[in-house]
C-alpha cells in the first residue's frame, strides 16, 4: 500500500520535474513543430543520400537542412548564453562581428588580391587570426560593459553600427571570392562524408563547451556574478573579469560562425552577411528559458532553442509562406513560445496542475 | 553617466576613424567619417578660383566660353562605397572620370548611415561645396527629402546641380539633369530574355531582394506580370532572401528537399544567385548553358560575369553604375551654353547572355 | 486640537505578514519644532513615516492634522502632499539635468501652460528667502549635494507644508554642508514649520533638535525634551538596556586571557577606506573574540570591510602573523585566511538563485581556482557535512538558497566561510533578522571556534550579545573609533557611556 503510494508520488514528481526542466519548453516546441510537419507533409522527414555536382555523397532533406543551417545559430547561442548570464544583457553586435571575422578570414586567404588563384595562407591561419580579432572585439565590448558599466545593448551598439564598415575596410571594399574548393568544405561537405560539415563544427563546439563547463568553474562563476555581483565580489571573484571573459568567449563563437558563413558561399557581402542573427541568438537564449536579466543558465536549452528557430524558419520556407508575411508568422510563433516559457505563465500552469492533482486526490 | 557617455562616444569615434583611415589606404573613397570636414582640392585649382564664391561664379560665367584650358571644379556627393559592390564601382568610375587629365578638379564627400545621419552629412557637405564655389554639384542623395533649401542655395550661388543614380523630391527647376537607372526596364529586359529562351514550361524560383527597395520592386514587377499573363509560366516559389546569399541557399534547398520541379532561378542580385547555385550544386542539379536549370542574376559583378563566361549561369542583368560618361556629357553641353535635351536621362542597361558574352564584356562591365 | 500641535498620530498599528511592525505608536509634532525620530534598525521609524506619508495603509489608529476636524485619511503620497506633509528622502529624488526652477515646479503646474519667466522669478524669491546659494536657471546637477538637498527641502516647503519630514538628509553631506542644512532647518523652524528629523547621528540630534521620540521594536519608548535626556540615556533607550542595570550579563564565558603569550593574528595601523571612516588601528590575537560596537551608521561595518578589502582601502598598513600583507581586494584577504560574513545578507551574502550547495562551496571554490572545480560528489559531501553541522534546515542541498528562512540562509553563509577554514573570521551582524534559537546557536559557535584557536570579530546591534561573546570591544561613534573596552569595563553602562560620548 505504502509502496504503491510512493510509486505514485514519485511518478507524479518525475512528471513535474520534467515539466519544470528548463529544456522542456524548447524540446516541446521542437516536437510540436515536428508533429505539425508530420501531419502536414510526412516528406518533411525524408532524408535521401545523393551526390553533389562534384560527385561526392551528400545527405539531403529538411531535417538535414535544419541541422545544417542551424549550426551557426547554435554556436552563437553558446556565447550569447554566457554573456546573458554574466552581464544580464545581450550583445547585439554579433552579426556585425561575424562580418568582421569573415572579412578577416578572406583577407588573410586572399592576401589583398580580391580573386587569388591560390590561397595565400593556410585556412587554419586565417581562422586563427579571425579568432584573435573577434575575441579582441569581444573584449572591447566586455570592457565597456564590465568596467565602464555601460548597458550591454548600448555598449554593443557601437560595434553594431560600425562593424560592417570595419569589415568592408578590412578588404578595401572589395568582395573577395575564393575559388579553392577546400575552403568550401567548412560550409559544405568534405568529400566522402555525406553529413554537412557545419554540423560537425557545431557538435565540436558543444562538446568543447560541455568540457569547459565540466573542468572549470565557468558555470559557477558566471552564474554567481550574474545573480549577485556584490556578493560574488565579497567571495573573491572578479566580476568585471568574468563578464569580459563571457564576451571573449562569445567572440570565439563569432569567429567559428563567421568561418562557416563565409565558407558557405566562398565570399562575403558585408551589408547582409549574418544580418539580424543577433536577434535570433538572443531569441534562442530566451526560448531556452534563460532569464535575459542574467543569472542561472541552461546551455543545452539555449542550443535546442537555436534549432527551434531554424526549424521554424525551414518549416515556413517549406510551406512557401508568402515572403512579405514570413516575419509576421515567425513573430506569432515566437510570441507564443516566449509567453509560454515566461515564469508567470509557468507558475500559473503549476497552480493548475496542483489543483488538478488535488481534485484527483479528493476523487 | 556623462562620463560614461563620453567614453562611449570616444569609442565610437575611434572606431569610425579606424574605418575611415583604413579605407584611405585603398581608395581615397573612405574619408567617410567626416565628409563635411573634407576641403575641396583648392590648391589644385587655378588662382582665381580661390576667390569668394559669388565673385568666382560671375568670373566663371564670363570666362565660360573660353574656359577650355581651365579645370572645371565639381563637388561629388555620394553614398558610402562599402554599401555594395555597385556603389564601389560607381565611386571608382566617378573617380576615374573626373580627373585633371580630363579637365576636372573633383572633391568627394560621402554619407554613411553606419557612422552618422547620412542625409544630414550630405547636406552639410553640399553647403560646404557651394561655399567653396564649385562649378558643379553632383549628387546621389541618401534620402529623397530635405534638399530644397540646399539646391536653392546652389542656384543662387550659380552652382549647377546634376543628380545621379537617385532622384530627389524637389522642383525640377532646381537641378540641371538627373541620370538614373530604370529598374522596371531592367526587369523587363530580363523577362524578355527569358521568354526568348522558348522553354515549354517555365517553373520559376523567384528569389527577391529586400522587400520594398526600388530594385526589388522593379525587378519583381516584370516577372509577376509575365507569370500572371502566361499559362506556361509557373511560380514554384517566390520568397525574399533580402539580398542575402545564404538565405537564397536555404530557400532553394527547401524547394529541392520538397521535391518540386523547377527549371529557372530568377534571383534579383548576383549574391542570391550564387547562394542558389550552391544549393543546386549540393543536390547535383545541373545549371547553366544547355543544362537543367537556367540561372539569372543582376548587377553584373565581375565574378558573376565570369560565371556566365564559364557557362555556369545563363543571364545577368546590368544595373549600370557607370554614370560618369553621362554626367560628363551633360557638363560639356552646359559649358558650351546649351541645355541637356532631357531633364531625366535614363541610362542604357544591358542584359548579358552566357552564350554571347565575351571576356571584353567581363572586363568592361564587371564591377 | 490643542494650541501649537500640527500633527498627532495616535495608537498606530501596522501589520506585515508575520511582523507586527507598529504596535500602538503615538507621535506628536508641534509648530516650529525640530523633532528627532530615533531608533535602531527595525524599530519602526521608517514604517511610521511611510504610514504618515500614505505609502502604507495602517491597520488601526488615527492621524490628526492641525486645521482639519477629526481624523484624516491619507491614502497616497499625493494625499499627504495635499494635506501639507512633505518628505525629503536620503537620496535626492530630483532631476539633475533640469534647472533649479524646473525642479521646484515640476509636476506642480495645473494645465499645459507654463509661465517660465514667472517660474524663474518665483524660484529666485524662494531661494533668497531661504538663503540657498543657487540660481533658478542653474542646472541642478551643478549644485553641491547639500544645495541639492536644500532645494529639495525648499521645494517641499514651498508647497505650503506644515509638516516636513527629513529622512536621513545628512548621511551624504560633509560637516560644512551639514551646518548649512541645519541653518536652513532652523530658519524653517522660525517660520513655524514642524520638522521630523530622522538620523543616526547623535551629535546632530543634540545640535539641532528640540524634542526626541524614541522607538524600539515597533513600540513607542517615549517622547523627551532634548535637554532632559542625556545622551547615555538616549542610547540606553534606543538599545533597550537600563544604564544603571549594572548587574549586567557580563562574561560568564570570557576565558580569553590577553596576557603576555597572546599571539597577534592581524594588526592594522591607520587603516582607512573610501567608505568615509576615519583611520583606525586594530589588532586581534589568536583565539580572541573582539567586536566593534556603536550605533547604526557609526562606521563599525566600514571598519571590518576595510580589513577584508571589501571597500577600496586608501591607506594604512596591515600585518598578518607579524608579516606585512597587502589586502586590496577580498581575494587577498581570503588567501590570508580571513573570512567575512557581511552585514547585509541579501545584498552581499547569498547568491539567491544558486543552490544551498553552491552557496556553501562558493568561497572555497574561488580559493581553489578556476580550473579546479569540486566534483559533484565532493560538493555534495561538503554540503551535507555543513548542513548537518550547523543544522541548516533546507528541503535539499539543491534548493535555491533564497527559499530558505533568514536564519538558515545565514547559517549557509557561515558554512561557506567555515569551509574556507579561516584563521580570522569576521561576522558582521550575523544575528540580525533571524530567530532567537539560531542567534544562540551562532553565539555558541563563535565561542567554540575561538576556543579552538580561531580569531573572531563579532559585530551585533544587540549589546548583550556582544558582551556575552567578546573579550574586547572597539567603540565607534560618528565613523571614528572612540574607545576600546576590556575587562571590567565590559558592561552596559560603560559601553553606552562611550557610545554616547563620555559624560556629556
DSSP letters spanning C231-256: HHHHHHHHHT--TT-TT----SS---
C305, C311, C329, C351: best to mutate for the A interface, most A CBs within 10 A: C351
Q: Which residues contact A51 (CB under 8 A, 6 or more apart)?
A: A57, A58, B284
User: B164 and B232: one domain?
Assistant: no
pLDDT score for C267: 92
- Give per-residue pLDDT as tens, C306-319: 999 999 999 999 99
Kindly state whether residue B288 falls inside one of the protein's structural domains.
yes
**Could you give the CA distance from residue C33 to residue C194 in angstroms, rounded to a whole number?**
5
In C99-145, the DSSP E strands lie at none
Nearest by CB to residue B114, choosing from A60, A161, A261, is A161
Shortest Cα distance from A268 to chain C (angstroms)? 38
Place of cell 573609533: C481
How many CB pairs below 8 A link A and B? 166
A141, A162, A163, A328: best to mutate for the B interface, most B CBs within 10 A: A162
Q: Give the residue with greater pLDDT, C341 vs C346.
A: C341
End-to-end Cα separation, chain B, in angstroms: 47
User: B225 and B269: one domain?
Assistant: yes
Between chains, do B243 and A172 touch, taking CB under 8 Å as contact? no
For the cut 90, the answer to whether the pLDDT of residue C437 exceeds it is no
CATH class of segment(s) C247-337+424-504: alpha beta
Task: Look up the CATH number of the domain holding residue B72.
Answer: 3.40.50.2300
**Could you give the CA distance from residue C300 to residue C477 in angstroms, rounded to a whole number?**
9
Q: Give the residue with greater pLDDT, A339 vs B92.
A: B92
**Could you give the CA distance from residue B114 to residue C28 in angstroms, rounded to a whole number?**
64
User: B96 and B244: one domain?
Assistant: no
Chain center to CA of A37: 23
Q: Give the residue with greater pLDDT, C1 vs B350.
A: B350
Interchain CB contact of A215 with C (< 8 Å): yes
CATH dotted code for C5-229: 3.40.50.300
C341, C355, C366, C425: best to mutate for the A interface, most A CBs within 10 A: C366
pLDDT score for B22: 35
Q: The domain containing residue B89 runs over which residues?
A: 2-181+322-336
Domain count, chain B: 2
Of A319-323, C241-245, C366-370, C395-399, the range with the lowest mean pLDDT is: C241-245
H or E stretch at A154: helix A152-170
- pTM for the full model? 0.77
User: B71 and B206: one domain?
Assistant: no
CA distances in angstroms from B204 to A79, B260, B297, B336, B353, listed in the order given: 40, 11, 13, 51, 18
Strand partners, B315: B296, B353
Strand partners, C264: C285
End-to-end Cα separation, chain A, in angstroms: 18
Kindly state whether residue B342 falls inside one of the protein's structural domains.
no
Here the cell at position B71 is 579645370
pLDDT score for C176: 74
pLDDT score for C122: 84
Please compute, for residue B142, the number of CA atoms within 13 A of its CA located in the half-sphere on the CB side: 23
* Confidence band of B340 (pLDDT split at 50, 70, 90): confident
User: B175 and B201: one domain?
Assistant: no
Backbone angles phi, psi at C444, to 5 degrees: -60, -45
**Could you give the CA distance from residue C59 to residue C15 in angstroms, rounded to a whole number?**
7
Is B318 within 8 Å of B352 (Cβ atoms)? yes
Q: Which 8-state DSSP code applies to residue C373?
A: P
**Could you give the CA distance from residue C338 to residue C298 in angstroms, rounded to a whole number?**
23
Q: Give the residue with greater pLDDT, C415 vs C108.
A: C415
Kindly state whether residue B6 falls inside one of the protein's structural domains.
yes
Q: Give the residue with greater pLDDT, B189 vs A23.
A: B189
H or E stretch at A220: helix A218-227
Walk along chain A (363 residues) and give the pLDDT tens digit of each residue. Answer: 444 444 444 555 566 666 667 788 889 889 999 999 999 888 888 888 888 888 889 888 899 999 999 999 999 999 999 999 999 999 999 999 999 999 999 999 988 777 788 888 999 999 999 999 999 999 999 999 999 999 999 999 999 989 988 998 898 878 888 888 899 999 999 999 999 999 999 999 999 999 999 999 999 999 999 999 999 999 999 999 999 999 999 999 999 999 999 999 888 888 888 888 998 999 999 888 888 888 999 999 999 999 999 998 888 888 877 766 777 877 887 788 778 767 677 778 777 877 777 676 665
Kindly state whether residue B96 falls inside one of the protein's structural domains.
yes
- Give per-residue pLDDT as tens, B160-188: 999 998 878 888 888 889 998 888 899 99
User: B83 and B61: one domain?
Assistant: yes
CA distances in angstroms from C487 to A76, A113, C303, listed in the order given: 65, 86, 23
User: B225 and B153: one domain?
Assistant: no
Kindly state whether residue B111 falls inside one of the protein's structural domains.
yes
CA distances in angstroms from A177 to A101, A173, A174, B92, C200, listed in the order given: 15, 13, 10, 20, 72
**Could you give the CA distance from residue C297 to residue B249 in angstroms, rounded to a whole number?**
66
For the cut 70, the answer to whether the pLDDT of residue C346 exceeds it is yes
Question: In terms of Cα–Cα distance, which of A142, A17, A23, A86 is closest to A296?
Answer: A86
Kindly state whether residue B345 falls inside one of the protein's structural domains.
no
pLDDT > 70: percent of chain C: 90
Here the cell at position B257 is 528537399
Here the cell at position C114 is 507654463
Q: Domains in chain A, ordered, with CATH? A: 70-320 (1.10.3470)
CA distances in angstroms from C72 to A318, B329, C1, C64, C305, listed in the order given: 69, 88, 13, 6, 46
Kindly state whether residue B341 falls inside one of the protein's structural domains.
no
Residue B8, classed as helix, strand or coil, is: helix
Residue A28: other Cβ atoms inside 10 A? 16
H or E stretch at B306: helix B302-309
For the cut 80, the answer to whether the pLDDT of residue C217 exceeds it is yes
* Strands C289-293, C472-477: pairing kind: parallel
User: B211 and B90: one domain?
Assistant: no
**Could you give the CA distance from residue A71 to residue B51 in angstroms, rounded to a whole number?**
63
| DSSP codes of every residue in A244-258 | HHHHHHHHHHHHHHH
Nearest by CB to residue B284, choosing from A51, A158, A166, is A51
Chain center to CA of C106: 32
For the cut 70, the answer to whether the pLDDT of residue C119 exceeds it is yes
Q: Which H, E and C letters describe A5-19, residue by residue? A: HHHHHHHHHHHHHHH
For the cut 80, the answer to whether the pLDDT of residue B118 exceeds it is no
**Could you give the CA distance from residue B348 to residue B26 in angstroms, rounded to a whole number?**
30
Is C284 within 8 Å of C457 (Cβ atoms)? yes
Here the cell at position C268 is 592594522
Strand partners, C224: C212
Between chains, do B281 and A52 touch, taking CB under 8 Å as contact? yes
Interchain CB contact of A235 with C (< 8 Å): yes
Is A109 within 8 Å of A330 (Cβ atoms)? no
The residue ranges of every structural domain in chain C are 5-229, 247-337+424-504, 344-421
Is B109 within 8 Å of B81 (Cβ atoms)? no
Question: In terms of Cα–Cα distance, which of C325, C212, C316 is closest to C274?
Answer: C316
Backbone angles phi, psi at C485, to 5 degrees: -115, 135
Chain center to CA of A344: 25
Place of cell 551535507: C384
Kindly state whether residue B326 falls inside one of the protein's structural domains.
yes
User: B80 and B36: one domain?
Assistant: yes
Backbone angles phi, psi at B230, to 5 degrees: -105, 135
Nearest by CB to residue B259, choosing from A43, A158, A323, is A43
- Give per-residue pLDDT as tens, B120-159: 888 889 999 999 889 999 998 888 788 888 889 999 998 9
Amino acid at each position: 500500500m505504502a509502496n504503491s503510494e510512493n510509486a505514485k508520488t514519485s511518478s507524479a514528481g518525475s512528471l513535474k520535474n520534467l515539466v519544470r526542466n528548463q529544456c522542456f519548453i524548447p524540446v516541446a516546441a521542437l516536437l510540436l513543430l515536428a508533429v505539425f510537419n508530420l501531419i502536414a507533409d510526412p516528406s518533411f522527414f525524408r532524408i535521401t543520400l545523393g551526390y553533389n555536382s562534384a560527385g561526392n555523397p551528400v545527405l539531403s532533406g529538411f531535417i538535414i537542412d535544419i541541422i545544417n543551417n542551424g549550426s551557426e545559430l547554435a554556436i552563437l547561442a553558446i556565447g550569447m548564453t554566457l554573456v546573458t548570464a554574466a552581464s544580464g544583457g545581450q550583445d547585439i553586435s554579433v552579426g556585425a562581428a561575424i562580418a568582421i571575422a569573415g572579412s578577416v578570414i578572406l583577407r588573410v586567404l586572399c592576401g589583398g588580391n580580391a580573386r587569388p588563384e591560390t590561397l595565400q595562407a593556410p585556412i587554419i591561419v586565417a581562422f586563427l587570426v579571425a579568432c584573435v580579432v573577434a575575441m579582441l572585439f569581444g573584449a572591447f565590448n566586455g570592457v565597456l560593459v564590465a568596467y565602464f558599466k555601460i548597458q550591454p545593448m548600448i555598449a554593443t551598439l557601437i560595434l553594431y553600427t560600425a562593424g560592417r564598415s570595419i569589415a568592408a575596410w578590412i578588404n578595401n571594399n572589395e568582395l573577395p571570392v575564393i575559388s579553392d574548393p577546400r575552403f568550401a568544405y567548412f560550409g559544405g561537405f568534405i568529400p566522402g562524408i555525406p553529413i554537412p560539415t557545419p554540423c560537425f563544427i557545431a557538435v565540436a563546439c558543444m562538446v568543447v563547451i560541455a568540457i569547459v563547463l565540466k573542468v572549470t568553474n565557468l558555470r559557477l562563476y558566471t552564474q554567481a556574478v550574474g545573480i549577485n555581483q556584490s556578493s560574488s565580489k565579497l567571495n573573491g571573484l572578479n566580476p568585471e573579469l568574468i563578464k569580459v571573459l563571457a564576451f571573449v568567449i562569445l567572440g570565439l563563437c563569432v569567429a567559428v560562425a563567421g568561418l562557416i558563413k563565409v565558407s558557405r558561399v566562398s565570399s562575403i557581402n558585408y551589408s547582409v552577411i549574418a544580418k539580424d542573427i543577433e536577434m535570433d541568438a538572443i531569441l534562442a537564449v530566451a526560448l531556452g528559458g534563460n532569464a535575459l536579466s542574467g543569472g542561472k543558465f541552461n546551455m543545452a536549452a539555449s542550443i535546442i532553442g537555436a534549432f527551434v528557430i531554424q526549424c521554424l524558419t525551414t518549416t515556413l520556407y517549406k510551406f512557401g509562406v508568402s515572403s512579405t508575411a514570413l516575419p509576421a508568422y515567425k513573430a506569432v510563433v515566437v510570441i507564443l513560445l516566449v509567453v509560454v516559457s515566461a515564469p508567470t505563465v509557468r507558475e500559473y500552469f503549476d497552480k493548475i496542475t496542483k489543483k488538478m492533482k488535488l481534485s484527483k486526490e479528493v476523487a | 553617466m556623462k562620463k560614461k557617455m563620453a567614453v562611449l562616444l570616444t569609442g565610437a569615434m575611434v572606431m569610425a576613424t579606424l574605418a575611415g583611415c583604413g579605407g584611405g589606404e585603398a581608395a581615397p573613397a573612405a574619408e567617410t567619417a567626416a565628409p563635411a570636414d573634407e576641403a575641396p582640392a583648392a590648391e589644385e585649382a587655378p588662382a582665381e578660383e580661390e576667390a569668394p564664391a559669388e565673385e568666382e561664379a560671375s568670373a566663371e560665367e564670363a570666362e565660360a566660353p573660353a574656359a577650355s584650358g581651365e579645370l572645371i571644379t565639381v563637388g561629388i556627393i555620394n553614398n558610402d562605397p562599402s554599401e555594395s559592390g555597385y556603389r564601389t564601382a560607381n565611386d571608382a568610375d566617378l573617380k576615374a572620370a573626373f580627373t585633371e587629365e580630363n579637365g576636372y578638379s573633383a572633391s568627394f564627400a560621402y554619407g554613411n548611415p553606419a557612422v552618422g545621419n547620412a542625409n544630414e552629412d550630405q547636406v552639410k557637405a553640399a553647403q560646404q561645396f557651394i561655399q567653396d564655389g564649385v562649378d558643379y554639384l553632383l549628387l546621389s542623395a541618401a534620402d529623397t527629402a530635405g534638399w530644397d533649401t540646399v539646391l536653392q542655395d546652389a542656384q543662387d550661388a550659380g552652382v549647377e546641380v546634376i543628380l545621379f543614380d537617385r532622384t530627389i523630391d524637389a522642383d525640377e527647376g532646381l537641378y540641371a539633369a538627373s541620370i538614373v537607372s530604370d529598374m522596371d526596364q531592367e526587369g523587363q529586359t530580363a523577362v524578355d530574355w527569358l521568354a526568348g529562351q522558348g522553354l515549354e514550361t517555365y517553373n520559376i524560383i523567384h528569389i527577391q531582394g529586400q522587400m520594398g527597395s526600388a530594385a526589388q520592386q522593379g525587378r519583381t514587377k516584370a516577372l509577376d506580370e509575365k507569370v500572371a499573363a502566361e499559362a506556361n509560366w509557373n511560380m514554384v516559389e517566390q520568397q525574399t532572401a533580402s539580398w542575402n546569399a545564404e538565405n537564397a541557399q536555404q530557400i532553394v534547398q527547401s524547394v529541392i528537399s520538397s521535391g518540386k520541379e523547377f527549371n529557372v532561378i530568377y534571383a534579383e542580385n548576383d549574391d542570391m544567385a550564387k547562394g542558389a547555385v550552391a544549393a543546386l550544386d549540393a543536390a547535383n542539379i545541373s545549371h547553366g548553358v544547355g543544362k537543367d536549370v537556367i540561372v539569372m542574376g543582376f548587377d553584373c559583378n565581375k565574378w558573376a560575369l565570369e560565371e556566365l563566361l564559364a557557362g555556369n549561369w545563363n543571364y545577368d542583368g546590368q544595373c549600370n553604375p557607370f554614370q560618369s560618361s553621362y554626367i560628363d556629357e551633360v557638363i560639356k553641353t552646359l559649358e558650351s551654353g546649351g541645355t541637356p535635351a532631357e531633364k531625366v536621362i535614363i541610362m542604357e542597361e544591358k542584359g548579358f547572355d552566357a552564350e554571347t558574352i565575351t571576356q571584353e564584356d567581363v572586363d568592361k562591365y564587371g564591377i | 486640537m490643542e494650541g501649537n500641535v500640527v500633527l498627532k498620530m495616535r495608537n498606530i498599528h501596522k501589520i506585515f505578514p508575520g511582523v507586527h511592525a507598529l504596535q500602538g505608536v503615538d507621535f506628536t509634532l508641534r509648530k516650529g519644532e525640530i523633532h528627532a525620530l530615533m531608533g535602531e534598525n527595525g524599530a519602526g521609524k521608517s514604517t511610521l513615516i511611510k504610514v504618515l506619508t500614505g505609502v502604507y495603509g495602517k491597520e488601526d489608529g488615527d492621524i490628526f492634522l492641525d486645521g482639519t476636524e477629526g481624523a484624516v485619511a491619507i491614502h497616497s503620497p499625493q494625499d499627504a502632499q495635499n494635506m501639507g506633509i512633505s518628505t525629503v528622502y536620503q537620496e535626492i529624488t530630483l532631476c539633475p539635468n533640469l534647472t533649479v526652477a524646473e525642479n521646484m515646479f515640476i509636476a506642480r503646474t495645473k494645465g499645459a501652460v507654463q509661465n517660465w519667466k514667472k517660474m524663474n522669478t518665483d524660484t529666485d524669491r524662494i531661494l533668497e528667502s531661504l538663503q540657498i546659494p543657487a540660481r533658478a536657471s542653474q542646472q541642478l546637477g551643478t549644485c553641491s549635494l547639500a544645495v541639492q538637498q536644500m532645494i529639495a527641502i525648499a521645494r517641499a516647503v514651498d508647497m505650503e507644508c506644515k509638516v516636513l519630514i527629513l529622512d536621513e538628509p545628512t548621511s551624504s553631506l560633509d560637516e560644512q554642508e551639514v551646518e548649512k542644512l541645519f541653518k536652513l532647518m532652523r530658519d524653517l523652524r522660525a517660520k513655524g514649520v514642524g520638522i521630523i528629523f530622522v538620523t543616526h547621528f547623535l551629535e546632530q540630534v543634540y545640535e539641532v533638535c528640540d524634542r526626541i521620540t524614541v522607538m524600539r521594536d515597533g513600540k513607542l519608548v517615549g517622547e523627551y525634551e532634548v535637554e532632559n535626556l542625556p545622551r547615555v540615556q538616549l542610547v540606553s533607550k534606543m538599545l533597550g538596556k537600563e544604564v544603571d542595570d549594572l548587574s549586567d550579563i557580563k562574561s560568564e564565558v570570557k576565558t580569553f586571557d590577553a596576557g603576555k603569550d597572546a599571539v597577534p593574528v592581524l594588526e592594522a595601523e591607520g587603516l582607512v577606506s573610501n567608505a568615509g571612516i576615519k583611520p583606525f588601528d586594530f589588532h586581534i590575537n589568536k583565539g580572541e573574540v573582539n567586536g566593534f560596537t556603536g550605533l547604526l551608521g557609526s562606521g563599525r561595518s566600514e571598519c571590518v570591510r576595510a580589513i577584508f578589502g571589501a571597500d577600496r582601502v586608501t591607506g594604512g598598513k596591515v600585518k598578518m602573523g607579524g608579516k606585512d600583507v597587502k589586502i586590496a581586494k577580498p581575494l587577498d584577504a581570503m588567501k590570508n585566511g580571513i573570512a567575512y560574513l557581511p552585514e547585509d545578507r541579501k545584498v552581499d551574502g547569498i547568491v539567491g538563485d544558486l543552490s544551498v550547495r553552491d552557496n556553501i562551496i562558493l568561497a572555497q571554490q574561488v580559493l581553489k581556482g578556476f580550473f579546479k572545480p569540486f566534483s559533484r560528489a565532493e560538493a555534495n559531501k561538503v554540503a551535507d557535512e555543513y548542513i548537518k553541522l550547523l543544522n541548516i534546515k533546507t528541503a535539499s542541498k539543491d534548493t535555491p538558497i533564497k527559499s530558505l528562512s533568514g536564519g538558515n540562509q545565514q547559517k549557509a553563509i557561515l558554512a561557506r566561510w567555515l569551509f574556507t577554514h579561516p584563521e580570522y573570521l569576521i561576522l558582521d551582524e550575523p544575528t540580525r533578522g533571524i530567530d532567537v534559537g539560531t542567534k544562540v546557536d551562532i553565539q555558541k559557535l563563535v565561542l567554540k571556534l575561538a576556543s579552538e584557536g580561531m580569531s573572531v570579530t563579532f559585530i551585533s546591534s544587540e549589546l548583550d550579545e556582544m558582551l556575552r561573546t567578546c573579550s574586547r570591544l572597539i567603540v565607534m561613534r560618528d565613523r571614528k573609533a572612540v574607545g576600546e573596552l576590556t575587562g571590567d569595563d565590559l558592561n552596559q553602562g560603560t559601553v553606552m557611556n562611550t557610545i554616547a560620548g563620555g559624560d556629556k
